[in-house]
Structure 1
Amino acid sequence: MTIDKGDVTGGDVWLKQGGASWLGEKETHTLSVDNLTAHITRENPGWQFSIPDTRITMDGKPWPSGALTLAWIPEQDVRGKDNKRSDELRIRASNLELAGLEGVRPLVAKLSPALGDVWRSTQPSGKINTLALDIPLQAADKTRFQASWSDLAWKQWKLLPGAEHFSGTLSGSVENGLLTASMKQAKMPYETVFRAPLEIADGQATISWLNNDKGFQLDGRNIDVKAKAVHARGDFRYLQPANDEPWLGILAGISTDDGSQAWRYFPENLMGKDLVDYLSGAIQGGEADNATLVYGGNPQLFPL
């Protein structure tokens, strides 16, 4: 333990054997440690808890060797609109298996119900190589992040399609971020949009977004996807102004060796059931070599 002028400012902890348990939604979760060391420091005005080597077992499953740091920063007086900065939870981690963190979800849900709901719905799995999260506990929509991962999978949540074998990087914030992604031999279920899961043989994309009081903007760049019977390359931009109609712009080159599979790629939420039914029955075959798809306008009118 470190004491400075009568105040505790830090310390080291060695847990040869230890554990904890807590109640989840339907079962009790357990955490045990074996020769775990941790360093606690007071980072004015908050605290930091660092584990250089995660010798942790949760619900009977050992975590992969990695590092974990948690920090709590209390609410602070700052200049600006509200003169207050929310208390924050800051997380730094490496080499995490998402499926092994399921037991933590009930605790996360208490801190941020919205994040807990997304976690429960998507049931993510895969490996997080590096992760940095700064979560304002009173304003989770302003969360900042940086991460890299490999072979992620999750179930569809609202308009976020399900995915598997998904690798990439993420940086920025909920308000303004950048995603680079790649997928190989993967299926993407997207109910309410496509009538069958997208079957991705190989795909890469760079996605960025901006979300503020003026509206929402989503940009897709350098998209190159090889899927069942189709190869598409191009860019898109989607705009949803705060007080105006949405706008979608697409410029892509498309090749296919089997036009009868076109029904897989008609977005029913945009085109409507009747038009998708008609085109799915009308297109019985054919080939195309680098045909150009150009669209600019209200996505509710796509593809007219």
Structure 2
Amino acid sequence: MWQLIAVTLVLLAVLVSVFRYSLPYANDYKHDLEVLINEQFDVDLRIGSITASWEGVGPALVLENVTFDDNNNSPIRLRIDNTSLQINVIESLRFLQLRSDYFVLEGFAADVDLNALDISTQQSDTEFEQQALIESLFLGESGHFAIKNSSLNLTMRNGKEHTLLLEDVIWQNNVLAHRGTGVVGIPGLTEGQLSADLLLTGKTLAELAGEVYFQASQVDLQDWLSPYLDENKQDLHTDINGQMWLSLAHGKVKNIQLNMKPSHIHWQQNDQAQQLSLMQAKGLMLPSESGWSLQSSEINFTRNNLAYTDISIVAELAERQSVWFKGLDLPLISEFIQLTNLPNTDLIAELAPEGALQGKLEFQAKAAPKVWLYSDKLKWQYARGIPATEPMRLEMNAIGEQAVIELSAQQGQLHTADMFAKPIAYEQLVGRFDIYKFNDHWRVTSDSIWLDNEDLTLAAEMQLRLLEHPELDLYVEVKGGNGKIAKNYFPQTLMAESLINYLNDAIKAGQHLGSQVLLSGKLADFPYIDKTGRFEVLSELTQAEFAFAPEWPAVKEAAATLHFVNERMDIYVDEGKLINHLSMAAYK
């Protein structure tokens, strides 16, 4: 008996010695190892090269550039740049299989096409070699290994691609469960940390169940966002924190939960620290018949500790994606816009819009996106000739590059700064505007602008062409009013001060029959002294009392026409009384 044991030990020592001294020639046995792996795992692969050395009590192998013959036909394509493993000689001889206590996969890449992959069945005709290898590797009853500098690339059912970087993950199998923990990443994120913790059960992908947990800690999105950010915002960076859970059952995702922790955007402005924060947000995604449904709650933003209205979102994410939202504050939208390099952000800041939006967004492949927005308390401040408003109702419907905006308000005022002598009151204000793209530029048109107050009624139509130098065509008709209130409606920024003073002194009384206003040309060239555009006002008065000059007697009961063309004014008096005598006609 002892002799048998001694002989066995000697033979084992000889085998180990032979194996040890043959390690430098391991690459010569590359084909044999490929055959061995095929017999053990039923996988056809190609090994680029093998290097080997003796470490501790056993040999260590390094396999480089491992590819799989079935990659072109499989929904799972695998590549391995480098895998190093230490052979357990005793266990390998005992089970007559290649056994390793621990190995490292580096440069491991798995490209998974979810459109072609069907893990809902275990029929052999739906399995691929790569799937069998993954199940043996990750879902076996034993195994302890590391994954470094690797990636999981998913092609979703809608054709979009997403990549998860496996930077440093440790995987451990046992008969009860499979556990993976470590650091993961997303391309383009260089600051902060994303960690993962997986606890799974099941021997095949179709049986997979358990929980997948991700945590983001102090993640900076600045590299992602930099192409869209305002360069004048100094030291801008983000601090994103949150958690996500994926629950799995029968090889499919059962639900996804999202819990955002306080996250911030920091920047410097006028040498002062600024901060826009997402204080919390929760969301739950559930599978539906055609895709996924999303419901959120408690989405709360603050700006330098000033809280905005909570936002809620409900979405259906399928072939046709629909998103409903409410409680979206316009000042919050304005804050985000100020951080971007979009055009006219300074104008939006000056307007300082207020109010909350609700709306619906729809997206579908090969179809123009649809947008519906609504607010019943929209207002903004005066800026660059745009009157300030009191709360009004807004509704917008847009399809692709065409939109219709409807505005309406009652019992308020338009605050025009220095344009008119006092705010323009209205009992009713209505406007409908069409926005569309034409020959690579945007146009805003309307044939339905209406204002009514106790003095007068105004109707207007317009077209604004947003070229490099914007052009405006505007036509306005005004009815009602009298001479005593005329001074309140002279556009002080469009008319010369001397002309306004003259008219205020000259018009003593009278009824306003109507006025027509025409403006056409480049806005920058107004008042069109060089005749590149046209500004014209034609007003009809009756029973007017008009003093042409201080030393002249006033014309009374006159029928008069005032005609402004650019900077020229003509006054026509068709009839009237001058010192109690009938005057036939006059012209000034």
Settle same-fold status: TM greater than 0.5: yes
1:230 aligns with 2:455: yes
Q: CA deviation at 1:20?
A: 0.5
Letter in 2 for 1:302: E
Give 2:208's aligned residue. none
| RMSD of equivalent CA atoms | 4.4
Cα distance between partner residues in 1 of 2:504 and 2:440: 38
Letter in 1 for 2:376: S
Give 1:96's aligned residue. 327
Cα distance between partner residues in 2 of 1:120 and 1:241: 19
Q: TM-score, normalised by structure 2?
A: 0.37
1:53 aligns with 2:296: yes
Q: Which runs of 5+ in 1 are unaligned?
A: 42-48, 72-89, 135-142
Q: CA deviation at 1:17?
A: 6.3
Cα distance between partner residues in 1 of 2:375 and 2:387: 18
1:278 aligns with 2:509: no
Cα distance between partner residues in 2 of 1:109 and 1:181: 25
Q: CA deviation at 1:13?
A: 4.3
Q: Which residue of 533, 536, 539 maps to 1:302?
A: 536
Contact 2:518 2:534 in 1 (8 A): no
Give 1:137's aligned residue. none
Cα distance between partner residues in 2 of 1:173 and 1:162: 28
> What CA deviation, in whole Å up to 9, does each residue of 1:228-267 have, x standing for no partner?
x4231433234669799865433x35122x5423223222
Contact 2:374 2:396 in 1 (8 A): yes
Letter in 2 for 1:190: T
Sequence identity (%): 13
Contact 1:238 1:247 in 2 (8 A): yes
Cα distance between partner residues in 2 of 1:28 and 1:277: 50
Q: CA deviation at 1:218?
A: 4.9
Alignment of 1:194-233 (within 5 A): 194-209=420-435, 212-213=438-439, 218-227=444-453, 229-233=454-458
Q: Which residue of 9, 21, 27 maps to 2:274?
A: 27
Alignment of 1:104-119 (within 5 A): 105=335, 107-114=336-343, 116-119=345-348
Q: CA deviation at 1:181?
A: 1.1
Q: CA deviation at 1:122?
A: 1.6
Letter in 1 for 2:384: K
Instruction: Give the 3-state SS of the residue equivalent to 1:230 in structure 2.
Output: coil
Letter in 2 for 1:168: L
Give 2:479's aligned residue. 254
Give 1:183's aligned residue. 409
Letter in 2 for 1:186: G
Cα distance between partner residues in 1 of 2:338 and 2:518: 40
Letter in 2 for 1:196: K
Contact 1:165 1:183 in 2 (8 A): yes
Contact 2:445 2:462 in 1 (8 A): yes
Cα distance between partner residues in 2 of 1:241 and 1:267: 23
Contact 1:253 1:292 in 2 (8 A): yes
1:293 aligns with 2:515: yes
Q: CA deviation at 1:161?
A: 2.3
Give 1:74's aligned residue. none
Contact 1:98 1:124 in 2 (8 A): no
Contact 1:189 1:198 in 2 (8 A): yes
Cα distance between partner residues in 2 of 1:153 and 1:268: 24
Instruction: Give the 3-state SS of the residue equivalent to 2:386 in structure 1.
Output: coil
Cα distance between partner residues in 1 of 2:499 and 2:536: 11
The 1:68/1:265 distance shift into structure 2, 3 A limit, reads farther
Q: CA deviation at 1:182?
A: 0.6
Alignment of 1:55-204 (within 5 A): 55-59=298-302, 61=307, 63-64=309-310, 66-67=312-313, 92-98=323-329, 101=332, 105=335, 107-114=336-343, 116-130=345-359, 132=361, 146-172=372-398, 177-191=403-417, 193-204=419-430
Instruction: Give the 3-state SS of the residue equivalent to 2:390 in structure 1.
Output: strand
Letter in 1 for 2:456: H
Q: CA deviation at 1:273?
A: 3.0
Q: CA deviation at 1:121?
A: 1.8
Letter in 2 for 1:301: F
Aligned residues: 263
Cα distance between partner residues in 1 of 2:345 and 2:399: 18
Q: CA deviation at 1:19?
A: 1.7
Bigger radius of gyration, 1 or 2? 2
The 1:30/1:65 distance shift into structure 2, 3 A limit, reads closer
1:37 aligns with 2:283: yes
Contact 1:97 1:125 in 2 (8 A): no
Q: CA deviation at 1:152?
A: 0.6
Give 1:14's aligned residue. 257
Contact 2:518 2:535 in 1 (8 A): no
Instruction: Give the 3-state SS of the residue equivalent to 1:32 in structure 2.
Output: strand
Letter in 1 for 2:515: L
Cα distance between partner residues in 2 of 1:284 and 1:133: 59
> What CA deviation, in whole Å up to 9, does each residue of 1:7-54 have, x standing for no partner?
2749654345622112254422322226x115499xxxxxxx985233
Moved more, 236-245 or 174-183: 236-245
Q: CA deviation at 1:167?
A: 0.9
Cα distance between partner residues in 1 of 2:345 and 2:473: 32
The 1:285/1:58 distance shift into structure 2, 3 A limit, reads farther
Contact 1:122 1:157 in 2 (8 A): yes
Contact 1:146 1:170 in 2 (8 A): yes
Instruction: Give the 3-state SS of the residue equivalent to 2:348 in structure 1.
Output: helix
Cα distance between partner residues in 1 of 2:266 and 2:293: 25
